[in-house]
Structure 1
Amino acid sequence: MDVAVDLVVPVKELRRAKSRLAPAVADLPGDDVDREQAHRALALALARDTLRAARAAGRVGRLVVVTAEPAGRLGAAGEPRELVPDEGGGLNAAVLRGAAHLYRPGARAVAALQADLPALRPEELDDALARASALFAGGVDAAFVADHDGTGTTLLIAAPGRSLWPRFGPGSARAHARSGAVALDGDWPGLRGDVDTAADLARARALGTGPATSAWSDDHAPVADHAPAPGGY
């Protein structure tokens, strides 16, 4: 499979990440410090599984992570990727910083992938990128994948030679469509399965999450809930 796309993955500083996931740790044993540590560990697990799947996708070329976290915290040693410091300004600023790091004359297509997709499969990402490439061949400048409820965006891709203009945030699917990006239609539950709430986490677990999130769930779920989720990898 030909490499087609360079990828930016912004990873928010763990102490500020995933505030809406607080209910997922609210009933855990221990004190507030323990629950805060569990919350950060969950955000880290989501990012690690996303990066693992992205790196395994055949259509991904360079993988740039924009983050304020130390390099060694995000995954296994030896997993190739480039890190760019997150200097603040929010998610869209981080995406633009990563895209600027990648830019060069004759560059491949550039995409931004959300870092909270623990059930993502490499083949889902490959299929979405292939469909985007087909659209680009027909003159489309940008494409995106909406999240599971159709309002957010999990993946944004700009055609080769075109700038990436992210509009992540509430209502981002509509904002990206209004900017001229084309919504990609595909059966990609893992790619669409961003995790913002406890219900989202349960949905991802039902799909089967990557090893980091599965390990977190095993460590923090009630004993009666320790049966492995179907389709895990």
Structure 2
Amino acid sequence: MIRGFRVDLVVPVKPLPVAKTRLRGAADGGVGSLTAHTRLALALAMDTVTAARAARRVGSIVVISSDPAVAMELGALGADVVPDPSKGLNGALRHGARVLREHEPACAVAALQADLPALRPDQLDGALDAASELFGSGATRAFCADEPGTGTTLLVAAPGIELDPHFGRGSAAAHLASGAESLDGEWPGLRRDVDVTADLEQAAALGIGPRTRAVLAAREQPQADGRPL
């Protein structure tokens, strides 16, 4: 393991109205209110960044987003928010990695997905420790696959190595083909990203962060006319 190993993170967050579109309705019992949906999308990102900030291996966090609410709320959590360059997800991640290395040229950098409401700081530290061990043995990049094993929730590049992200459909295989090594470990909260309602239910069973929990609790509270929120 590399002594004193710390990693700077880049976290991409889409504009909230178009983020996590397959979750539309999950925050309000299927109604599909845009207000409820954006509240959920923001809560997912905030719980993810809060957990990441508490990890001992994490240094700086740069959030790539052009959404004003994201900038305000995640900035308040201690992240630096940088406008999205509008070059797609992988372009945003490459831009974020460059921003991080402008300040710390020798840092290790990692891309972390923003939809991990069950993430625990110790799980992220465990994955980063595993990456450090791989880098100490000569590897240059490593990734953590999602729970199904086809996607990627975390991609780490050793100091001085380009991040080279390949997120998208089948990203686990794409990262493996690009030369990144797979990280082995349980880390259920790190692997449980949330794309659809079933994923959200699984994350809730693991134990989600307070903001996402509050959004889900609110959908059970009746309005004045007796309907759920």
> Normalising by structure 2, what TM-score?
0.90
By how many angstroms is 1:36 displaced? 1.1
- The aligned residue for residue 190 of structure 2 is 191
- The aligned residue for residue 231 of structure 1 is none
212 and 80 in structure 1: CA distance in 2 versus 1, 3 angstrom threshold: same
- The aligned residue for residue 73 of structure 2 is 73
SS at match of 1:216: helix
Matched residue pairs, number?
Answer: 217
- The aligned residue for residue 164 of structure 1 is 163
Determine the C-alpha separation between the residues in 2 that align with 1:90 and 1:72.
22
SS at match of 1:83: strand
Post-superposition, which runs of at least 4 consecutive aligned residues in structure 1 deviate over 3 A? 25-29
- The aligned residue for residue 226 of structure 1 is none
Partners of 2:25 and 2:37 within 8 A in 1? no
Q: Cα RMSD over matched residues?
A: 1.8
Counterpart of 1:94 in structure 2: which amino acid? A
By how many angstroms is 1:88 displaced? 1.1
**Which structure 2 residues correspond to residues 73-152 of structure 1 after superposition, within 5 A?**
73-74=73-74, 77=76, 79-104=77-102, 106-152=105-151
134 and 3 in structure 1: CA distance in 2 versus 1, 3 angstrom threshold: closer
Partner deviation per Cα, 1:177-222 (whole Å, 9 max, x = no partner): 0001000010100000100000000000000100100000110137
Partners of 1:109 and 1:158 within 8 A in 2? yes
Residue 1 (structure 2) pairs with residue 2 (structure 1)? no
Partners of 1:147 and 1:153 within 8 A in 2? yes
3 and 159 in structure 1: CA distance in 2 versus 1, 3 angstrom threshold: closer
Determine the C-alpha separation between the residues in 2 that align with 1:82 and 1:149.
31
- The aligned residue for residue 24 of structure 2 is 22
By how many angstroms is 1:23 displaced? 4.4
Determine the C-alpha separation between the residues in 2 that align with 1:139 and 1:154.
22
Identity %: 56
Counterpart of 1:7 in structure 2: which amino acid? L
Partners of 1:3 and 1:61 within 8 A in 2? no
Determine the C-alpha separation between the residues in 2 that align with 1:117 and 1:89.
23
Determine the C-alpha separation between the residues in 1 that align with 2:5 and 2:131.
13
Counterpart of 2:126 in structure 1: which amino acid? D
By how many angstroms is 1:2 displaced? 3.3
Determine the C-alpha separation between the residues in 1 that align with 2:208 and 2:216.
10
> Normalising by structure 1, what TM-score?
0.88
- The aligned residue for residue 154 of structure 1 is 153
- The aligned residue for residue 225 of structure 2 is none
By how many angstroms is 1:63 displaced? 0.8
SS at match of 1:185: coil
Partners of 2:110 and 2:157 within 8 A in 1? yes
Counterpart of 1:53 in structure 2: which amino acid? A
Determine the C-alpha separation between the residues in 2 that align with 1:205 and 1:45.
13
Q: Which residues of structure 2 form unaligned runs of 5+?
A: 223-229
Determine the C-alpha separation between the residues in 2 that align with 1:187 and 1:37.
35
